Amino acid sequence: MFSVKLHTPALVRCVGCGGLVSSIDGPTHRYMESSPGCWAIYGEVLAREYSDPAFAAVHRQTVDAYAVQHPGQPSKQSIRSVDIHLVRLCLMLERGFNDEAALMATSVIVSGKDGFHWLAPPPSMGTITAVDVWRTNSAEEHLQAVREWARSAWHAWAQHHEQIRRWVPAQFSGVQGS
C-alpha cells in the first residue's frame, strides 16, 4: 500500500483582521492591507452575495466590516475609506438605518467633507472575520454571520465611537428606512 499526501497550505494570521487564512500567494487590495488568503476568501463571500439575491441583503455590511478590519496604512485614500465605512456602520448599527438608507445618508455626509482623519486602528479587529462568513452553509446562516461580523467590527473600534458619531449630522439621528 502507498499513501498519497495532499498538500494543504499552512494557516497564517491575516495582517489586517487577524483571521486564520491559508498561506497562499496572490493578489490583495492596493490600500486595504490583508493577506492574500483573506482577500481570496472575501472575494468568495462577495461572489456569493452577487450571485444570489438571498445573500445580498447584507452586502453593505460585508463591505463595511471587511474595510474597517483591513485599514491599511495612513494615506488620504485609506483614511477616507475607513472613516466612511465606520460612519456607515454607525448609521446601521446605532441609528437603525437599513443598508440602502445608510448608503444614501453616507453619500450626503461625505460630500465635501474634509474633516476625516486617521483613527489609530484597535489592537484587535474583532472576533468575527470574513472566514466565519465564508464557512456558512445557507443564506440564513450567511445573513446572521454578516450581521454579527459587522457588530464585531464596529465594537472593535469602540475607542473612536464618539469621533465617528460627531461625523454624523443630527439630521441622521433617527431610524431611517428599516
- Domain membership flag for residue 119: yes
- Domain membership flag for residue 93: yes
The two most distant CA atoms of the chain are separated, in Å, by 73
- Domain membership flag for residue 24: no
In this predicted structure, what is the pLDDT of residue 172?
A: 83
- Domain membership flag for residue 72: yes
C-alpha distance across the termini of the chain, in Å: 62
At 32, list the grid cell. Answer: 486595504
In this predicted structure, what is the pLDDT of residue 178?
A: 45
In this predicted structure, what is the pLDDT of residue 170?
A: 80
Which DSSP category does 16 fall into? T
CA distance 71 to 83: 9
If we measure between CA atoms, which residue out of 32, 61, 71 comes closest to residue 145? 61
- Domain membership flag for residue 26: no
In this predicted structure, what is the pLDDT of residue 9?
A: 74
At 76, list the grid cell. Answer: 488620504
* Domain interval for residue 156: 53-172
In this predicted structure, what is the pLDDT of residue 157?
A: 98
Query: Residue 55 in contact with residue 37, Cβ under 8 Å?
Result: no
| Ranges in the chain, pLDDT < 70 | 1-8, 112-113, 174-178
- Domain membership flag for residue 84: yes
CA distance 54 to 84: 26
- Domain membership flag for residue 126: yes
CA distance 142 to 70: 20
Using CB atoms within 10 Å of the CB of residue 12, give its burial: 0 to 12 exposed, 13 to 18 middle, 19+ buried.
middle
- Domain membership flag for residue 47: no
Q: pTM of the full predicted structure?
A: 0.91
User: What's the total number of domains in the chain?
Assistant: 1
Query: Residue 165 in contact with residue 90, Cβ under 8 Å?
Result: yes
